Amino acid sequence: MPLTAAHKSVIRLADGRELIYFDSKEGQDRGAYPDTRPLDPRPAPGESRFDPLLGEWVTVAGHRQVRPYHPGPDVCPLCPSTATRHSEIPAPDYEVAVFENRFPSLSGPPEPEELIGPLPRRLRRGGGRCEVIAFTSDHDATFASLGEDRVGLILAAWTDRTASLFALPGVEQVYVFENAGAEIGVTLSHPHGQIYAFPYLAPKMARVVERLAAHLEHTSRNLYDDVLAAELAGGRIVLENAEWVAFVPFAARWPYEAHLYPRRRVPDFTALDDAQRAAFPGAYLDLLRRFQRLFGADAPPVPYIAAWYQAPAGPPRDVALHTEVFTVRRAPGRLKYLAGTESGMGAFMNDIAPEQAAARLRAVGELTAGSRTAPRPARSAPPGLPD
Amino acid sequence: MPLTAAHKSVIRLADGRELIYFDSKEGQDRGAYPDTRPLDPRPAPGESRFDPLLGEWVTVAGHRQVRPYHPGPDVCPLCPSTATRHSEIPAPDYEVAVFENRFPSLSGPPEPEELIGPLPRRLRRGGGRCEVIAFTSDHDATFASLGEDRVGLILAAWTDRTASLFALPGVEQVYVFENAGAEIGVTLSHPHGQIYAFPYLAPKMARVVERLAAHLEHTSRNLYDDVLAAELAGGRIVLENAEWVAFVPFAARWPYEAHLYPRRRVPDFTALDDAQRAAFPGAYLDLLRRFQRLFGADAPPVPYIAAWYQAPAGPPRDVALHTEVFTVRRAPGRLKYLAGTESGMGAFMNDIAPEQAAARLRAVGELTAGSRTAPRPARSAPPGLPD
């Protein structure tokens, strides 16, 4: 497919937040639709506190308790505006729109490092930014139902936001993700994702960075390269095309979980080349559609999280851009809960062997233009045995 | 209160699992009630895989998909047995009973270290043990509804199991916890907890051990001692008695979360002295009852997790025994979900300031024999400001 060109228009919402339209066609006059709502001033920035015992930042944002809770389509803040109903997006239609979250967990200028204070009470006020990305104006769509052109436009928007957010002062990590499904707490069903610019490394990213450094020191190799090479040689591949590969990881935490990597490692969205960009929509849509088909053709929309790793701001930037897609549904009508072992001790107990999950995700595949089911045979070894 | 004496009787269930009764009265003939059920053989041990990128063990236990799912009281496996209904506990009544989980995530002899293999595919088969502890024979009770004598007996059982499980080969950590409430996935409503003997350090424990070592090197002090001292000097105390203190931590992750510590640091249950044991039931019951009262007198039972940290097997054993109690309920009828930020990146976003949570937990207190609400005034500083 051809690369999707993105035409960007920036306006300000009534309370000063940025709204950015990404259009596939030139010449849209997005400034013709100003935000005329009487909005309250934006809330004060939250704060982040460092847990001394686990060595992790936790963000406290008390004002978020008042955010919208399962609004109906007549009051959806992500639908286009009409003469009588003013949403967060003033235009009467749009393709992809990004705006600053009205109830952000992270916002405001970053605090200088010297004010953050010592253990056991390290605290930073402000810093970072939270954006919402509406994938379509169609309230009832899902990401998996979008066309490849639209996914190309979304990729262009993710790329733009990554560059723009890394350019803000104090931003350490740009985190692109999508929460889908009421079962994981999504309170707005309109198809959308989020983009967090963290003033700190999120805990999982901080650990990955440590692990990469240790592996490099011990082996002179990049750990992501070793992981991807081992998966390509093994039996948990779900799908692949010329530029992208998806597999169930060796130590999967979730009932169904797949990681999608570009074959050539890049640190973030801005470093993808044209071939990688062109091959992305087919692979990603294929993956999401497989998740939807896991529980039957008539199953309600699958709840899932898609979490994008991008290398943090600082050198060496050897984290590999990739997404981790997983669902909390373990069987029709049954969810995986994070209870005492996971939430209390971080110890994941997975009821489905990763090799079984990969076989299922292969079996529900279909041939699409952009990707093909991996030709490898399903594992003949018992599920308990890794390669 | 007097210390609760525990009289222990061990029998074997039909498939060979241990069942251990803890009675407050001597002379119970627990062997008089054998398990006569025709049980399938126990499942093969699961396996644990090391996630190379996060440096964490994940356990895969495929056979658990078939475990009971919300059985009604007529088929509850934790109710005492009757002539016509045979549960996991053959006796017609009991006080506290512990048995090996029929569907364990961890079981079997530990694999020798040299068989575990190198990155990126470190894997161990077997090792560890999963036990269930039934707190009462009353199907409709909750832990918070129990009397102090019963809690003393439960403490004796936890102590016994800690010593017994640390004596098994290859056990690195003994983890006592309780999951309560269908909202966090509890499928058996009969009041019970669990005890996991891990053949590895659970991820959160592994991090705490690292952080403790780093703090000791930098300051020559124990990090837990510093945390507890800071809390005692600060404003997030929830309750305290002569031996125990509960507070909301500086960097609380959950809407309502409190940590209960003995004032004198001990590594595990077996090291508690008589005064600490005697003072425990009052403090713990007071804490759990406050959680129940958070959402109104008529609120449905509060979902919560109680997670006990105990020092791992190896030296230096400087982890402080304590429990972390938290609920996923953030308001009546509203839950805190772990979505893209938490499950995807480990970055917790807490909508309720820890100081507010502590004030609420103090406000719902009552004077009990065993503990008193902390006399400290609620914070006068804004919630955003730590001490």
Each residue's pLDDT tens digit in chain B (387 positions)? Answer: 446 679 999 999 999 999 999 999 998 999 999 999 999 999 988 899 999 999 999 999 876 655 666 666 678 999 999 999 999 999 999 999 999 999 999 999 888 888 888 888 899 998 999 999 999 999 999 999 999 999 999 999 999 999 999 999 999 999 999 999 988 889 899 999 999 999 999 999 999 999 999 999 999 999 999 999 999 998 899 999 999 999 999 999 999 999 999 999 999 999 999 999 999 999 999 999 999 999 987 889 999 999 999 999 989 999 999 999 999 999 988 899 999 999 999 999 999 999 999 999 999 985 444 444 444 433 333 333 333
B340/A204 touch (CB, cutoff 8 Å), yes or no: no
- Put residue A220 in one of left, alpha, beta given phi > 0 → left and psi -120 to 50 → alpha: left
Query: Choosing among A133, A348, A356, A387, which should be mutated to test the B contact, i.e. which has the most B CBs within 10 A?
Result: A348
Contacts of B250 in chain A (CB under 8 A): 49, 51-52, 120-121
- Is the alpha carbon torsion for A105, A109, A113, A118 positive or negative? negative
- Window from A114-118, A359-363, B158-162 with minimum mean pLDDT: A114-118
**Chain A contact present for B361, CB below 8 A:** no
Provide Rg for chain B, Cα atoms.
Answer: 21
Mean pLDDT of A3-12: 86
B132 touches chain A (CB under 8 A): no
CB-count burial class (<10 Å; 0-12, 13-18, 19+) for A75: exposed
Is the CB of A188 inside 8 Å of chain B's CB atoms? no
Nearest Cα neighbor of A203 from B348, B120, B248, B211 is: B348
**Mean pLDDT of chain B, nearest integer:** 91
- Domains of chain A (ranges; CATH) run 7-200 (3.30.428.10), 205-373 (3.30.428.10)
Average pLDDT of chain A, as a whole number: 91
Query: Comparing C-alpha atoms, which of B62, B45, B57, B61 is closest to residue B127?
Result: B45
The span from the CA of B61 to the CA of A264, in Å, is: 34
Tokens matching residue A372: 């093909």
In chain A, % of residues over pLDDT 90 = 77
Nearest CA-CA partner of B196 in B222, B220, B178: B178
Chain B contacts of A250, Cβ < 8 Å? 49, 51-52, 120-121
Interchain contact, B208 vs A335, CB within 8 Å: no
pLDDT at A377 over 90: no
In tens, the pLDDT along A277-321 reads 999 999 999 999 999 999 987 889 999 999 999 999 989 999 999
* Cα–Cα dist B304/B288, whole Å: 9
What was the pLDDT predicted at A75? 85
Q: Which among A233, A231, A222 has a CA at the least distance from the CA of A250?
A: A231
Those residues whose C-beta lies under 8 Å from the C-beta of residue B281, and which sit 6 or more positions away, are: B1, B148, B149, B151, B152, B155, B370
Query: What size, in residues, is chain B?
Result: 387
Q: Which residues contact B165 (CB under 8 A, 6 or more apart)?
A: B129, B131, B171, B174, B195, B197
A267/A311 Cα distance (integer angstroms): 5
Chain A residues with beta carbon closer than 8 angstroms to that of B345: 175, 177, 202-205, 307
User: Mean pLDDT, to the nearest integer, of A324-352?
Assistant: 94
Give dist(CA B127, CA B205) in Å, integer: 18
CA-CA distance, B287 to B248, in Å (whole number)?
11
Task: Look up residue B208 and give its amino acid.
Answer: V
CA of residue A58 relative to chain centroid, distance: 19
Tokens of residue B181, six digits: 């409430």
Active site residues of B: 192
Query: Among all residues of chain A, which has the CA nearest to that of B234?
Result: A121
ipTM exceeding 0.90, yes/no = yes
Asked whether residue A373 carries a pLDDT value surpassing 60, the answer given is: no
Show residues of chain A in contact with B260, CB under 8 Å. Answer: none
